[in-house]
A and B are shown apart, each in its own frame.
Chain A
Amino acid sequence: GAVVSQHPSRVICKSGTSVKIECRSLDFQATTMFWYRQFPKKSLMLMATSNEGSKATYEQGVEKDKFLINHASLTLSTLTVTSAHPEDSSFYICSAPRDTLSYNEQFFGPGTRLTVL
């Protein structure tokens, strides 16, 4: 089946620094990827839709200047948490549909646990 990877799996950073998380589709091209955030003991919440070659679409309430998304190629989307603060600590998960005919069949990455001290 399709594989989506994320790097790093865990990151710890100091408050005020920026952290970049990579999401890669390993055996298929993804013109669209999705970024989710999962709070402890909570469900996943969609943050934004990453579109290859164009600007990301952010969900209501998500700060686009804080969570920078770049979809530079058909296999890579990056999420940069800028000027991170402890409240940004969370589990970030990306997903990608295999193709435009199966948007509703998502393949999820293993997630990145961010801890901001």
Chain B
Amino acid sequence: AQSVTQLDSQVPVFEEAPVELRCNYSSSVSVYLFWYVQYPNQGLQLLLKYLSGSTLVKGINGFEAEFNKSQTSFHLRKPSVHISDTAEYFCAVSQGTSYGKLTFGQGTILTVHP
């Protein structure tokens, strides 16, 4: 079985500050890793994904994440946030044999203050 833990339920930051949203996972087999963003009253939008290859993954809106196999982490970062980044962020994992079944973390609410 696989599981995902997002270590922070809420992260408040000021505009133009850097941010890191933490995600750890557990799995006995190789996994694929994802970050999704959910704006109020909207569906989930894919920010970035790690399937294979380079462990540093760049996504949309200036976000990036680094896959660390030894620490089983996939933390999301952005060097300078905007007010519009205020949303809930979900880390998710799937196994290669799970044919798309995603296991989600609890979510982190990022609030960017002016």
Which residues of A are in contact with B by a Cβ distance under 8 Å? 4, 6, 32, 34, 42-46, 49, 93, 95, 97, 103-106, 108-111
Asked whether A44 lies within 8 Å of B104 as measured between CB atoms, the reply is yes
Which residues of B are in contact with A by a Cβ distance under 8 Å? 32, 34, 36, 41-46, 49, 51, 90, 94, 99-107
Asked whether B43 lies within 8 Å of A111 as measured between CB atoms, the reply is yes
Q: Would you mind naming 22 contact pairs between A and B with Cβ atoms under 8 Å apart?
A: A6-B43, A34-B100, A44-B90, A44-B102, A44-B104, A46-B102, A49-B99, A49-B100, A95-B44, A97-B100, A103-B94, A103-B99, A104-B32, A104-B49, A104-B51, A104-B94, A105-B49, A108-B36, A108-B43, A108-B45, A110-B43, A111-B42
Asked whether B46 lies within 8 Å of A105 as measured between CB atoms, the reply is yes
Of the candidates B44, B51, B99, the one whose C-beta lies within 8 Å of that of A108 is B44
Measured between beta carbons, the chain A residues less than 8 angstroms from B32 are 104
Measured between beta carbons, the chain A residues less than 8 angstroms from B94 are 103-104
Extra inter-chain contacts (19) besides given A97-B100, A109-B43, CB under 8 Å: A4-B43, A34-B102, A43-B106, A44-B44, A44-B90, A44-B102, A44-B104, A46-B103, A49-B99, A49-B100, A93-B43, A95-B102, A103-B94, A103-B99, A104-B34, A104-B51, A104-B100, A108-B36, A108-B43
Asked whether B43 lies within 8 Å of A49 as measured between CB atoms, the reply is no
The 4 closest A-B pairs by CB, nearest first: A103-B100, A110-B43, A108-B44, A108-B43
Asked whether B104 lies within 8 Å of A43 as measured between CB atoms, the reply is yes
CA distance A106 to B44 in the complex (A): 10
Given contacts A42-B106, A43-B105, A49-B101, contact A106 B90 (CB under 8 A): no
Q: Which residue of B lies closest to A44 (CB)?
A: B104
CA distance A45 to B104 in the complex (A): 7
Identify the interface centre among A43, A95, A110: most chain B CB within 10 Å of its CB: A43
Measured between beta carbons, the chain B residues less than 8 angstroms from A46 are 101-103
